[in-house]
Amino acid sequence: RQFTTTEDLREAMQQDARKYINYDGDLLAYNAAQQGAPRSAALLWRNAQNAYTATAYKNKNDGVEVTVNAKGQFEINNPAGDAFNEDDYNGNNGANGAGDVITDATVNPQTPNPVNNNTNDDDKVVTIAVTALSNDNVNTNTRMKDAFSNLNGSLSSGASTGKTSSALKMSAHSMTTEFYDSLGSKHQITVEYRKVSYSPENGTEWSIMVTVPEPGVINTDPEAGAYKNVITGNIRFGTDGALIGYSPSVINYTANNGSAAGQTIALNFGTLGGFDGITSYDSKSNTENIAQDGYTGGTLNGLRIDQSGKIIGSFTNGHSMALAQVSMATFTNNNGLEKLGGNVWGETANSGGPVIGAASTGSRGKINASTLEMSNVDLSHAFTQLIVIQRGYQANSKTITTSDTMLNTLLQLKQ
């Protein structure tokens, strides 16, 4: 029996309880040989007699009701007295005596009106046993069994209260992102969320199942039947949808591919009490953003310096990182520095000791990369030197003029 909706499951459970359960242990089988009756899953025939008698129908308990309430709980009730239901056994005629015979047009067009000829109370005790599939250890199957475990036990006919399962919390969501080990190898991590409980006072709780592909290990001490690549936890939200707690927050990952063992993966779902990360609202679950700071291996292919003096390296994997930082120094008295030549200045007792720090902090200036620095010489001294050079040039030019005049006079005397 397979089902795809909760209504399919409810219908299957009710049909089983009403028609297909052998309450008395009589040997029953399906047989369509008698009177050329059509083959149908609703036709029950007694093998011993291969006849159409009331004995073949005494295993029925057609008053059992299976419903799903507004909270998503399955309810099973076993009212007293035989009840007429249109999905009961459909005989091929209604003239065979005291049997629980119902006829309708689908079986015999000659008798289109359903008739219940059984006047006996066919009340049976309903005994329910909920088990998981013996060859299946998936978490979903275990949760299904746990949700229906409240139905276990006996339910007498006419019981004032029925049996009710736990509410089925079908809300679920999952997300997958990539991460990298110490060798730069890429892996995937999947986080599945399933709604566990809700209350107006305490908010909502979801279970978390974190999975990595094998042979990766994140569960170093698994319980019996658990998987080494799966770890579980929970996440809780307040009545306003804000995140109030989650576990686990850190996972130790071993890829078993030659990379470092026990690498730390930090899970950050947001600020506790805030709305900057995962939230729980009355809307369809979705993943809007995933951020991770891992990266594959790469080689250095560029350098640049920012205004704070950090030397930034660019790599072929598309990532950049600070490799070093240029420091800057300030002095209590900059005018007390000693000029050493070549735009180099030295510390003196008058200048005070250097206070070293990062650019753009304190009173330090910023650094402009790929920019030619302006001169910081003494302008008054530079102008004085310029005047001296100018006077010297003028004197030299007068000497040249005098020499030229003397040469001209000498040429004239020769003529």
The pLDDT tens digits for 126-155 are 889 888 776 655 555 777 888 899 999 999
For tokens 């109030």, the residue is 244
Residue 99 clears pLDDT 70, i.e. is over it? no
Predicted local distance difference test score (pLDDT) of residue 244: 94
pLDDT classification of 35: cutoffs 50, 70, 90: very low
Predicted local distance difference test score (pLDDT) of residue 120: 57
Instruction: Judge whether 227 and 244 are in contact, CB under 8 Å.
Output: no
Distances in whole angstroms, Cα of residue 59 to Cα of each of 22, 91, 94, 157, 191: 6, 15, 19, 14, 49
The segment with the largest mean pLDDT, out of 130-139, 255-264, 364-373, is 255-264
Residues 6+ apart with CB under 8 A from 43: 30, 31, 32, 37, 89, 90, 91
Instruction: Judge whether 266 and 234 are in contact, CB under 8 Å.
Output: no
Report how far residue 45's alpha carbon sits from residue 32's, in angstroms, rounded to the nearest whole number: 8
Neighbour tally for 67: CB within 10 Å: 13
Q: How many CA atoms lie within 13 A of 13 on its CB side?
A: 23
Predicted local distance difference test score (pLDDT) of residue 283: 84
Chain centroid to CA 409 = 104
Neighbour tally for 383: CB within 10 Å: 10
Q: Which of 65-74, 86-95, 217-226, 390-399 is least confident? A: 86-95
Q: Tokens standing for 397? A: 């030019």
Q: Which of 102-111, 158-167, 213-222, 405-414 is least confident? A: 102-111
Predicted local distance difference test score (pLDDT) of residue 363: 81
Residue 227 clears pLDDT 90, i.e. is over it? no
Write down the pTM of the prediction: 0.48
pLDDT classification of 264: cutoffs 50, 70, 90: very high
Q: What is the pLDDT of residues 152-193, one digit of tens each?
A: 999 988 888 899 998 776 678 889 999 999 998 999 999 999
Report how far residue 377's alpha carbon sits from residue 143's, in angstroms, rounded to the nearest whole number: 81
The amino acid sitting at 197 is: S
Residue 275 clears pLDDT 80, i.e. is over it? yes
Chain centroid to CA 245 = 15
Backbone CA torsion sign across 71, 73, 74, 80: negative
Is the bond leading into 215 cis (omega within 30 degrees of zero)?
yes
Q: Which of 59-73, 309-323, 382-396 is least confident? A: 59-73
Instruction: Judge whether 142 and 132 are in contact, CB under 8 Å.
Output: yes
Question: What burial class does residue 150 get, using C-beta atoms within 10 Å of its C-beta: 0-12 exposed, 13-18 middle, 19+ buried?
Answer: middle
Average pLDDT over residues 360-381: 77
Residue 372 clears pLDDT 90, i.e. is over it? no
